[in-house]
């Protein structure tokens, strides 16, 4: 089996590293291409045997499953380049939420899946959001599911929910890291605790929190109840957080969705430009 990767940016590289290090595939089973070729060549130096294609067409021609790891605005160029070399029995996996499966199926003759990863997949953790296209067979679905199960917990998601699910699964590592950094910075500002100590404390706390929620039989709710004894300091802190943080998360979800709608429109305009009538 040969896997192709188009776009070796943050996520293309993360997926390749995760698949190789999880033992899902050998470097010799991968063929990759990136617009700035140097990025692909650097990765090939790290993983001897990994092949760098001369262009996206070669990447597709040589692979059974290929991953489209470019940004939404870059899809048109890539699809234009590869559309006449795709075969009906190949599978294209898009990792991008605002490019609709129906649009990819209109452009390419192959089978399509949308599978949105998370940076957490780099350490074989977190979810991948699984949205099968209409041409995938049951065997294809099982195959892709098992492939992503080697680096993540795949979860079936309706295409209409990919944005909000991505907010929680893919963007939240950054959102929560931001909140943790703010908490550490506030501790430093208020008490002169060395910043290095503060950052180490919140980082180790997050590691333990993840383990408690995944392996320690805690839920988000039961964990809060367990730590916050009545009348204690944590309870006071939770009361303050509950009073002050609610609307910001609603605003966050509204903001990502407004940008998403805008991105969908831009992708639609670029993939299916309207012909101007004179």
Ligand X SMILES: NC(=O)c1ccc[n+]([C@@H]2O[C@H](COP(=O)([O-])OP(=O)(O)OC[C@H]3O[C@@H](n4cnc5c(N)ncnc54)[C@H](OP(=O)(O)O)[C@@H]3O)[C@@H](O)[C@H]2O)c1
Is residue 97 within 8 A of residue 114, CB to CB? The reply is: yes
Give 43's contacts (C-beta < 8 A, 6+ positions apart).
8, 13, 16, 32, 50
Map residue 24 onto helix, strand or coil: coil
Looking at beta carbons only, is 43 or 198 nearer to ligand X? 43
Question: Distance of CA 89 to CAs 82, 147, 198, 212, Å?
Answer: 15, 17, 53, 43
20 is in an annotated binding site: no
For position 95 contacting ligand X by CB under 6 A, the verdict is yes
Gap between the Cα atoms of 173 and 181, Å rounded: 12
For position 9 contacting ligand X by CB under 6 A, the verdict is yes
Looking at beta carbons only, is 144 or 198 nearer to ligand X? 144
Q: Among 4, 12, 126, 132, which residue interacts with ligand X (rule: CB under 6 A)?
A: 12
Gap between the Cα atoms of 20 and 39, Å rounded: 17
Q: Among 100, 116, 157, 198, which residue interacts with ligand X (rule: CB under 6 A)?
A: 116
Is residue 92 within 8 A of residue 98, CB to CB? The reply is: no
Gap between the Cα atoms of 93 and 114, Å rounded: 6
For position 76 contacting ligand X by CB under 6 A, the verdict is no
For position 42 contacting ligand X by CB under 6 A, the verdict is no
Looking at beta carbons only, is 74 or 185 nearer to ligand X? 74
Closest by CA position to 157, among listed 127, 134, 135, 137: 127
242 is in an annotated binding site: no
Looking at beta carbons only, is 30 or 95 nearer to ligand X? 95
CB of 87 to ligand X, least distance (A): 20
Find the Cα–Cα–Cα–Cα dihedral 263, 266, 271, 272, rounded to 10°.
130
For position 35 contacting ligand X by CB under 6 A, the verdict is yes
For position 51 contacting ligand X by CB under 6 A, the verdict is no
For position 121 contacting ligand X by CB under 6 A, the verdict is no
For position 157 contacting ligand X by CB under 6 A, the verdict is no
Q: What is the DSSP letter of 168?
A: I
7 is in an annotated binding site: yes
Map residue 92 onto helix, strand or coil: strand
For position 27 contacting ligand X by CB under 6 A, the verdict is no
For position 70 contacting ligand X by CB under 6 A, the verdict is yes
Gap between the Cα atoms of 234 and 150, Å rounded: 38
CB of 14 to ligand X, least distance (A): 7
Q: Among 96, 127, 152, 162, which residue interacts with ligand X (rule: CB under 6 A)?
A: 96
**What residue numbers does the annotated binding site for NADPH cover?**
56
Could you list the residues that contact ligand X (CB under 6 A)? 6-12, 33-36, 39, 56, 69-72, 74, 77-78, 95-96, 116-119, 170
């Amino acid at each position: 089996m040969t896997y192709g990767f188009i776009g070796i940016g943050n996520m293309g590289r993360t997926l390749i590293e995760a698949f190789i290090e999880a033992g899902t595939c050998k470097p010799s089973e991968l063929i990759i291409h990136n617009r700035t070729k140097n990025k692909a060549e650097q990765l090939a130096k790290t993983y001897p045997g990994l092949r760098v294609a001369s262009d996206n067409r070669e990447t597709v021609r040589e692979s059974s499953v290929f991953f489209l790891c470019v940004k939404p605005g870059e899809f048109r160029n890539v699809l234009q380049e590869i559309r006449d070399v795709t075969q009906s029995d190949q599978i294209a996996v898009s990792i991008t939420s605002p490019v609709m499966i129906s649009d990819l199926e209109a452009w390419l003759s192959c089978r399509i899946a949308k599978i949105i990863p998370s940076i957490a997949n780099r350490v074989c953790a977190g979810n991948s959001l699984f949205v099968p296209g209409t041409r995938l067979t049951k065997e294809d679905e099982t195959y892709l599911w098992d492939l992503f199960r080697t680096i993540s917990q795949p979860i079936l998601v309706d295409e209409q929910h990919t944005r909000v699910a991505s907010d929680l699964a893919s963007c939240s590592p950054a959102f929560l890291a931001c909140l943790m950094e703010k908490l550490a910075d506030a501790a430093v500002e208020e008490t002169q605790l060395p910043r290095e100590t503060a950052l180490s404390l919140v980082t180790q706390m997050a590691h333990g929190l993840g383990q408690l929620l995944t392996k320690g039989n805690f839920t988000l709710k039961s964990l809060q109840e367990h730590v916050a004894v009545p009348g204690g300091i944590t309870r006071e802190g939770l009361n303050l957080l509950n009073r002050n943080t609610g609307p910001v998360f609603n605003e966050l979800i509204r903001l990502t969705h407004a940008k998403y709608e805008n991105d969908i429109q831009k992708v639609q305009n670029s993939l299916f430009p309207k012909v101007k009538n004179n």
